[in-house]
Amino acid sequence: MSKVPAGLWKKFIAVQVYGANTDVGKTVFSSLLGKRFKFGQVNSKKWQVQYIKPVSTGPQSDRDDAYVRRHSGCSAVHTLFQFQNPVSPHIAAREIAQHARDIPNDDYVNARLSQKLCENAFALQLESGDYGLGIVETAGGVLSPGPSGTPQADIYRSLRLPVVLVGDHKLGGIAATISAAESLKMRGYDIDAVVCFDDKGKYQNAEYLKTYLKDNMELPVYTIPWIPHLVGTSTQLEQELMMEYYNETSRHSEVEGVAQRIVDRHAARIENMDSMASRTQQKIWHPFTQHKHVEKAEDVLVFDSAHGDFFQVKRTARSDPKSTEDTSPILYPAFDGSASWWTQGLGHGNPRLAVEAAYAAGRYGHIMFAGATHEPALKLAEHVLRGLQNPRLTKVFYTDDGSTATEVGIKMGVRAACKHYDWDGSKEAIGVLGLKGSYHGDTIGAMDASEPCVFNEKVDWYRGRGYWFDYPTFKLKEDRWVVEPPEGMDKEFGPTRFFAEQDDIFDFKARGRSHHYEAYIEKTLNKLVKEQGRKFGVLVMEPVILGAGGMIFVDPLFQQSLARVVRRYNFATSEVAPAPIEGEYAWSGLPVMFDEVFTGLYRLGQFSSAFFLEVHPDISVHAKLLTGGLLPLSITAASDSIFQAFWGDEKSEALLHGHSYTAHPIGSHVANVSLKTMDGYYNGSKWQSFKSDWKVNKEASPPGMKETDGVHTPCKVIPSMRDSDTARIKFWSFWSKEFVFNLSRHERVDHVNALGSVLAVSLKDQSGAGYTSSAAVGLRDALLFEHSKIQIHSRILGNVIYLMASLTSTGSDLHTVEEAFLQRLDAMD
Amino acid sequence: MSKVPAGLWKKFIAVQVYGANTDVGKTVFSSLLGKRFKFGQVNSKKWQVQYIKPVSTGPQSDRDDAYVRRHSGCSAVHTLFQFQNPVSPHIAAREIAQHARDIPNDDYVNARLSQKLCENAFALQLESGDYGLGIVETAGGVLSPGPSGTPQADIYRSLRLPVVLVGDHKLGGIAATISAAESLKMRGYDIDAVVCFDDKGKYQNAEYLKTYLKDNMELPVYTIPWIPHLVGTSTQLEQELMMEYYNETSRHSEVEGVAQRIVDRHAARIENMDSMASRTQQKIWHPFTQHKHVEKAEDVLVFDSAHGDFFQVKRTARSDPKSTEDTSPILYPAFDGSASWWTQGLGHGNPRLAVEAAYAAGRYGHIMFAGATHEPALKLAEHVLRGLQNPRLTKVFYTDDGSTATEVGIKMGVRAACKHYDWDGSKEAIGVLGLKGSYHGDTIGAMDASEPCVFNEKVDWYRGRGYWFDYPTFKLKEDRWVVEPPEGMDKEFGPTRFFAEQDDIFDFKARGRSHHYEAYIEKTLNKLVKEQGRKFGVLVMEPVILGAGGMIFVDPLFQQSLARVVRRYNFATSEVAPAPIEGEYAWSGLPVMFDEVFTGLYRLGQFSSAFFLEVHPDISVHAKLLTGGLLPLSITAASDSIFQAFWGDEKSEALLHGHSYTAHPIGSHVANVSLKTMDGYYNGSKWQSFKSDWKVNKEASPPGMKETDGVHTPCKVIPSMRDSDTARIKFWSFWSKEFVFNLSRHERVDHVNALGSVLAVSLKDQSGAGYTSSAAVGLRDALLFEHSKIQIHSRILGNVIYLMASLTSTGSDLHTVEEAFLQRLDAMD
C-alpha cells in the first residue's frame, strides 16, 4: 500500500478539489479554475491544464469531465472509473461487480490516479516548456466512500495533493465546511484554500468562514460569485448563461486569488523542500550522528510525509541522477525498514490514531498526575498488567521514554535489593547484573547499566556499574539453527549445538535445565561477590534480542538460567537457595528486570517477549510500540515486593521520580487504542498467513502458564496442531521462511535471525565486526538509492543490517521488499 | 470560563442531541426519545423527561420545544435563548443586538444550560423517586455557530454531555456524518450513539455508517424508521400521521436500543468513576508520592476531563459532605492552580491544538529522525533559536522531557570543558557548578547535577557531582521589595537591600557590577580548584526562579555575576581573565547552561527567562510549555563552540544520544503552533491589562541587546514609557499587583513573589521550612475542598504554596481565584 510517489512536481501542480458536501459547486469551481489557468496567464506563465475525475457515477450524458471540457476550454479531461448509477460509488461499484475482486481496490484507484498525473507531468515537459495544472475533482464530500467503501480522503492520502475545499453555502454549511476541513487536516492534508459560492446574503456562510477559518485554522477563504439560477431554463439558454458566467467569473479577483494562492503555495513548498536539508544541517544537532561524517547537506534525508509503511522522501542526485528534471516527481516512496527506530506499529498517518490523539487532547489536554487519576492512564495500566500475564506485577509507573523507564526500573530494583540486604546505596557501589552488549537508553543512569562500549566511551559522566555476562547466541546459519558459545568459550557454555527448528531452541522441556549454564553463573557470581566483594542490586536484561548492541539473539535457556540463579543466590552470603524461600512471587537473591522497550508489545509477535523465556520478571519496562508508533510514553511495571521497598513514613523513602507529562492522556489513550488493535490482530486473522508460513507441527508452549520458582513449568505436549491453533503459534515472523532460509545460505551472509517483525542479517565482514564497522553501509545505500521496484530505508548496526515490519505490513509489500533485498545483496561488490 | 460542573448526575441523565447537518431529524428524534423514556419504562424504571433547546431561531409558532411537547408528551420543555429570524443564531443575535455586549456570550449560554439542568436534576429528586432524562437539542450541525459565533460544540464543551449524533440520511450524508463525529471526538465528547433515519434503500447511508463507525470509531448506529412524507398534507392530517408515527416508532426496537444504550453508558460511566480511585490505588504507582501517606482510595483525585483552566473533579465526602445525594452533580470544576505541573499554556482541551496534533499524526505519525529531517522539527528549531535572541546558540538537539534535555546539556557542557582543558572525564571527576536548591529532573545524570537534598537522599545511584553556591534571594515582604542574603551571610553578600520596584532589582545599570559578589565567587572557586583540586565542566542554573527547590527567586545580579566570573575563570590555572579572550561568543572558563524548563517560554512573561538576566547562555534547555501544555517534547539548544566539541573523525566522539521519538512530529508541530500563538499574545493585546497593572514609569531594558562579555550592556534610559510600550514591559504578572501586595502584608505570609504566570507565597512556619514541611497542607486542602465561589487545585513545596496561571487565563477568573485565596488564608487556624 501507498507505494506511489506523493504528487509533487516542479512545474506541474496537481491540486485536489474536495467538497464540504455534495452539490456545493466542485465542478463549477473546477471549470472556473481550469479556465483561469488556461486563459489567464497565472503568475505570468503559460499553463497547460488537465482535469481528472478519478471516480464518477452517473450516466454518460451527464459526466463532469464533459462539462468541464465545455466550460473551461480544457481538452485534456479524464475520468478514470465511471459507474452508471448516480449513487455513491461504493453502491454503484457493488451493483455491477460479480465478485468482490471486481471492485477496484484503493491501491489500484490511487495508483491509476498517480499514473495519470505522472503521465501528464511527463507529457507536459515533452510537448512544451509550459507549466501545468492538474485538477483532480473528487466525488461527494471529503469522506464520501470510493468504490471499495473507503472514504476518498483516505484512498488518495499517500499522494497528499494540496487541496482546494469547496465550502458548503447552504444552511448548516458552516458546520459542514469546518468539519470537512478538520477531517482533511487530521489526515495530514494541506489545504491551500477554501472557496465558497457567495449566496448574496442569504446564509452568509462565506463571510463567517472567512473569519473563523483564518483565526482558527489559518486558512484563506475566497468568495466566488453565485452560479446563475438555472432551474427551468432551456439547455441552450443554460449553456449561454453559463458561458457568460465562466467568461466573467474566471477573471474575477477572488478566482484569481485562488489561482495565485495555489501557485504561491506550490512555489513555497518546493522552495521549502529545496532548502530543508541545508537549513537542517545549520540548525539541527542530530541524534547518534557524527556530524563530521555528514559531508553534504544532501546527505540529510528530507521527508515530506509518511503513510502506511512508506516515507515520502525528496529525490536527490544520489537517489536519482535525473532528479533535476522537471518531469519526475520530487518525492519517492521508501519502505520504512527500521520501523522508524523500532517504534512503528499501526502505520504512519493512521487516521484512527490521529482522531484518537485529538480526542484525548480535546478531553484533557494534559493533566497533572500526582495524587490524581484519569481514565486513559488507569485503563492502560490495567491493560498492560493484564496483557503481561505476569502474576508478580501489580503496579505501573509512567515515564516518557525507554531510557527514563529504565532509570525508574533500576531505582526500583536497586532500592529493593538494598532494603533486602540492608545495604546503604548512597555509600556503597551497587551494580547491576546484565549481558554484554546490552543497551538501555542514553540518560546517565540507563547508560551506567550497560557495559563500556562505543556508545558511552566518550561520555564523561558514564561509570559502568555492574557486571555483564558472556552468553551463547542462536541464529540461522546455512539452513541450520544453531546455538553458539562466544569464541573460545566452549568450556564455559558447551560446544555449538544444532536444532531442527527455531521452536526447539525455546523448547525448555526438551532442553531441560542447563546445569552447565547454572554452574557457570554461580561460579562467576562467587568470584564477583565472595572474592571481589562486589554488590549488585538487580538483574537487567533485554529478553531474547539485544537490540542496539547489534541485534544479538541470546540463547533463551541462558537468560532463563540467569534469572533462576540470580533469584536464589544470596548476595550477602554467596549461598544458593535450593528453592524460593519467601513465597511464590518473591525473590531471595535479586529482583529480575526485563527491558522490553524494543522486544515487547508484539514486536516479536507476542504481547510480551518474556513469554518466550517463560520467566516472570519483577520489573518490566515498555515503550516504543506502546503508542502504536505515534508518540513517546513509557511504563515500568513492578511487583508488590518492589513497591513495598518504597513504603515508609518518610516522603524521602518514596520513589521521588516524576516527569511533567507523566501519564499524559494523549499517549495513554492512543496506547489503549493501539494495544486493543494489536490484541485484535494477534487473536484474529490479520497475521494468519505469516503464522501459517512458520507453523511447525509439534507442541508449542502457550504463553502465560502458572509459574513455579519464577520459571514456567513447561506445558503438556500437544500432539499436533490444528489450523485453529495457528493463533497460538509462538515463533513466527512477518518475513517469509523461504526468504530467511535463502539469506542464511547467501555467500555474503554470516547468519540471520527472524522473529516477529524483526529480521537481522549479519553480513560477512573481513575487517572485524562492531558498531564502527561499515560493512553494511553499501547495502543500506543501495537499498535506498538504487532504482528498483521498491526503495527501502534501513538502518545498520555495524555489520548487521536489519529490517523491521510494522504490525500492519502486508505480505505483498514485504514480498517486494524481500525480492529487492536479495537482488541488492546479489549485486554487492 | 468553564466554571460550571460537567453535566453528570447519578439519577439524571442529560444527553445532547447533535445533528450531522441541519434538517436531519434532530427534533423528531428528540421527540421519539422523550416519548420512549416517558412512556416506555426504560431499564424497568420510571422516567421524568425534560427537553431543553438552549438556542433556537425562528418564529414563535414554529418552535421546536412546542413540537417536542406535542409529540413526546413531555410537558417540561424549555428554550433558553430564542431569536425570531430563522437564520443561524449568530446572524439572528447580531441583528437584534444594539451593542456587541447584548449578544449572549458563550459562558453565559453554557452557564444557563448548566443551571437549567441542575435545577431539573434537583427538582426531580424533590418531586419523586424517579429517574430523569434531559434532552438537550442543539441547533444546526455540530459546529454551527451559537449566538456569539462560536461553534456550538465548543460552547457546551465543559458540560461534556454524552452525545447522540443524528446522522445525515441525504446524498453526501455519509461524509457529513463521519466528519461531524470526528469534530465531536476531537473536542473530547463521548458519543453514545449515532442514529440515522432509514431512507428505505435510497442512499443507504445508515447501512454504510453502521459498518464504518463500528470498525473505525467503535460507535453503534441505530436505524430509525423513516418520517412520513408530509409535503402537501393538511396540518390536521400531518398531525395525525405524526401521532401514529410517534406511537409506533417510539416502541421500535432501534429506538429502544438507543434508549438502553444511553442508560447503559451512563451507568458504566458512573460505575467507572466510582471505582477509579480504588482501581488507581491498586494499579498505579504515582510520581513523587509516598503511598503510605495516601491512606484512603478517596484521597486520589478522579479527573473526568478538563477545559480551559478547569479540571472536572469527582466529588467525594471530603469535597462535599452531600456528595452522596443524587441531586448534586457528580463532578465539580477546580481551577488548575499548578498549571498541571507547570506545563499548561493554552488551556486544557484546546480544540486548535487537538486538530493540529491530529494533523501531524495524519501527515507523519512518527518519523525516525537520525540522518533525516521533517518540516515541524526544522521549523521549531528555527523558531526557538530566533525567539531566544541569543547569538551564541546555533543548534537544537531534541529529547523527550526536561530531565533528558538536561542530561544532554550536561553531556555537552562537560565534554566541551574536558576538551578545552584536555581532561579525561572518564577518569577524573568532573562536576557542575550550580546553586543550592536547584532541581533539573529525575534521571540519574540530572539528579547528579543537583546538591544532595530530600529528592535524592534515598536514591542509591545518586552521587552529587558538583558544587552549589549560596546566594541572596529577592522577594516582596510587607510591601517592600528586598534582596536578602542567606542567614548569617551578610559578610559574603552584603546586608539586606530594599528596592522601590521589582524592576529595580533587575536594573543592572543602576546596580552596577557587584564586585562584592564577584570577589566571593572567585574566592570560592579558588578554594575549590586551587586548594581542593576539584574540576568542573559547566555552570548550570535555572534563571531567576529555582522551581522545585521551593520557588526561590534568586537575586539576578548574583546569577549574572556567577556567569561572568565562571566564563572567565581559568579552571586549570585559577586565573581570571580580565576580558573574554577567544572571540565574542566563546568562553574561556566554563560554558554556561540555563535550565529554562520551568522558567522559559512565557512562563515568566518573556520568551526566555535569560532576558531577565541579560546573559546569553551557551546551552539552553526547554520543555514543559514548549508544546503549549499538551505533550512531552524538549529541546537543548547549543552554541557552535559546544557543537565543535563533538566534531571528530570517530563516531564515538559524536553525541551518541537519541530517543526513539526524537523530534516526534506531533510534538514539534503542536509546539510550532503553540509558540506562534504565544508570540501573538505577547506582541498583541491579550496580556495588555495584566501588563498595565504592573507598569512602572521608568526605563526598561528591552530584551535581546547586543552582548559584551557574555552580558548585555544596559540599554539607554528611556525617559518615560508610552502606552504603546506596554508590550515591552518586562516585569509583569497575571496576578494583580494589589493582590500580591495584600499577600505581602498578610500575617500568615512571610513573603511573596509574582512574575509572569507564577505566584509563590511563602507561609510563616514555626516548625522550620523545607520540602518535608506541612505548613501549607491545610491551605491547599481548604482551597480544593471547601465550598467557595471557586475551588482551586494547587500544589505546595514545603511551606510555599504557589499558583500558576495558564497563558490563556482571564483576568476575571484570576480575580475570583485571588478572592478565594485571600478568604481561605484569612480563615486559616
Q: Tens digit of pLDDT for each residue in A443-483? A: 999 999 999 988 888 999 999 999 999 999 999 999 999 99
ipTM: 0.96
Q: What is the pLDDT of residue A203?
A: 87
As a dihedral over the C-alpha atoms of residue B31, residue B33, residue B38, residue B44, rounded to 10 degrees, the angle is 170
- Check if B600 contacts A (Cβ < 8 Å): no
B524-562: per-residue pLDDT in tens? 999 999 999 999 999 999 999 999 999 999 999 999 999
In whole angstroms, what is the distance from residue B499 CA to residue B75 CA?
68
Mean pLDDT of A33-58: 91
Of A208, A282, A367, the CB nearest to B303: A367
| pTM for this predicted structure | 0.96
Q: Which three cell numbers stand for residue B560?
A: 549574572
pLDDT at B714 over 60: no
B664/A631 CB distance under 8 A: yes
The answer on pLDDT for A16 being more than 70 is yes
Instruction: Name chain A contacts of B448, Cβ cutoff 8 Å.
Output: 444, 461
Instruction: Give chain A positions within 8 Å (CB) of B405.
Output: none
Answer yes or no: is pLDDT of B713 > 70. Answer: no
Alpha carbon of A92: minimum distance to chain B alpha carbons (Å):
11
Q: Which three cell numbers stand for residue A69?
A: 471540457
Over residues B348-360, the mean pLDDT reads: 98
pLDDT of residue B126 exceeding 80: no
Chain A hits for B216, CB-CB cut-off 8 Å, are 351-352
pLDDT at B256 over 90: yes
pLDDT band at B41; cut points 50, 70, 90: confident
Within 123-182 of B, beta carbons closer than 8 Å to A belong to 140-145, 149, 151, 157, 160, 171-172, 174-176, 178-180, 182
- A177 or B709: whose pLDDT is higher? A177
What whole-number distance in Å separates Cα of residue B128 and Cα of residue B144? 37
Q: Is B662 on the interface with A (CB under 8 A)?
A: yes
The pLDDT, as a whole number, for residue A579 is 65
What pLDDT was estimated at residue A517? 96
The total of other beta-carbon atoms located within 10 Å of residue A125's CB is 18
Min CA distance, B406 vs chain A (Å)? 10
Partnered with residue B222 across adjacent β-strands are B195
pLDDT at A718: 38
Q: Which of B88, B395, B643 sits opposite A203 (nearest CB)?
A: B88
Supply the pLDDT for residue B236: 81
Residue of B631, B633, B771, B796 to mutate when probing chain A, most A C-beta within 10 A? B631
* Residues forming a β-bridge with B545: B553
Cβ contact, residue pair B140, A172, below 8 Å: yes
The answer to whether residue A769 scores a pLDDT higher than 80 is: no
For residue range B731-767, list pLDDT tens digits in order: 999 999 999 999 999 999 999 999 999 999 999 976 5
Span A216-230, average pLDDT: 91
In a mutational test of the B interface, the residue from A659, A777, A794, A806 whose CB has the highest number of chain B CBs within 10 Å is A659
Q: Do B21 and A176 touch (CB under 8 A)?
A: yes
Residue A722 has pLDDT above 50, yes or no: no
Q: Which residues of A touch B283 (CB under 8 A)?
A: 378, 381-382, 385, 394-396
Residues in A touching B25 (Cβ below 8 Å) = none
Which of A179, A276, A378 comes nearest B280 by C-beta? A378
Segment B203-249, tens digit of pLDDT: 899 999 999 999 999 999 999 999 887 655 667 888 888 889 999 99
CA distance A332 to chain B (A): 15
**CB distance A205 to A196 below 8 Å:** yes
Distances (CA, A) of B454 to A368, B438, B450, B451, B550: 21, 12, 11, 10, 12
Structural domains in chain A, CATH included, are: 12-226+243-270 (3.40.50.300), 430-590+606-618 (no CATH), 737-827 (3.90.1150.10)
Inspect the interface and report whether the beta carbons of A443 and B349 lie closer than 8 Å: no
* pLDDT of residue B40 exceeding 90: no
Closest to A630 (Cβ–Cβ): which among B179, B365, B457?
A: B365
B209-220 pLDDT per residue, tens: 999 999 999 999
Mean pLDDT score, B19-37: 95
In this predicted structure, which of A119-123, B380-384, B686-690 has the lowest mean pLDDT? A119-123
Give residues 375 to 434 of A whose Cβ lies within 8 Å of B.
Answer: 375, 377-378, 381-382, 385, 394-398, 400-404, 407, 410-411, 414-415, 418, 425-426, 430
Share of chain B above pLDDT 90, in %: 79
B459/A656 touch (CB, cutoff 8 Å), yes or no: yes
Report residue B701's pLDDT band, with 50, 70 and 90 as the boundaries.
Answer: very low
Nearest by CB to B182, from A182, A342, A631: name it: A182
CA–CA gap between residue B777 and residue B773 (Å, rounded): 9
Residue B328's pLDDT band, with cuts at 50, 70 and 90, is confident
Whether the predicted pLDDT of A782 surpasses 60: yes
Specify which residues B552 forms β-bridges with: B546
What mean pLDDT is predicted for residues A693-708?
56
Q: Does B87 touch chain A (CB under 8 A)?
A: yes
Residue B715's pLDDT band (cuts 50, 70, 90):
very low
pLDDT beyond 80 at A703: no
Quote the DSSP letter at residue A604: T
Q: Which residue has the higher pLDDT, A557 or B42?
A: A557
Is pLDDT at A720 greater than 80 in this prediction? no
Phi-psi region of B804 (alpha: psi -120 to 50; beta: other; left: phi over 0): beta
What percent of chain B is modeled with pLDDT above 70? 92
- Averaged pLDDT, A775-779: 87
CB A55 within 8 A of CB A146: yes
Q: pLDDT at position B768, please?
A: 53
Partner-chain contact A396 B347, CB within 8 Å: no
- Partner residue facing A664 (CB), from B160, B414, B631: B631
Residue-averaged pLDDT of chain B: 91
Provide the pLDDT for residue A581: 53
pLDDT at A485 over 50: yes
Residue A269 has pLDDT above 90, yes or no: yes
- Of the two residues B322 and B112, the one the predictor is more confident about is B112
Q: Quick check: B666 and A357 CB within 8 A?
A: yes
Q: Exposed, middle or buried: residue A816 (CB in 10 Å: 0-12, 13-18, 19+)? A: middle
Cα separation values, B349 from A357, A358, B158, B346, Å: 12, 9, 9, 9
Choose the closest CB to B175 out of A144, A217, A292. Answer: A144
How distant is the Cα of B500 from the closest Cα of chain A, in angstroms? Answer: 36
| Separation of alpha carbons B387 and B682, rounded Å | 12
* B359 Cβ under 8 Å from any chain A Cβ: yes
Does residue B188 contact residue B198 with C-beta atoms inside 8 Å? Answer: no
Cβ distance B341 to A446 less than 8 Å, yes or no, reads no
Choose the mutation target among A2, A179, A213, A597 for the interface with B, i.e. most B CBs under 10 Å.
Answer: A179
Tens-digit pLDDT profile for residues B464-513: 999 999 999 999 999 999 999 999 999 999 999 999 999 999 999 999 99
Determine the pLDDT at residue A24: 94
* CA–centroid distance for A89 within its chain: 31
Q: Given CA atoms A435, A439, A441, A442 in this order, what sign does their dihedral have?
A: positive
What pairing do the DSSP bridges indicate for beta strands A301-307 and B372-374? Answer: parallel
Report, as an integer, the average pLDDT of A168-184.
Answer: 96
With b for 16 or more beta-carbon neighbours within 10 A and e for fewer, the A186-218 pattern comes to bbbbebbbbbbbbbeeebbbbbbbbebbeebbe
Inform me whether the pLDDT recorded for A729 exceeds 90. Answer: no
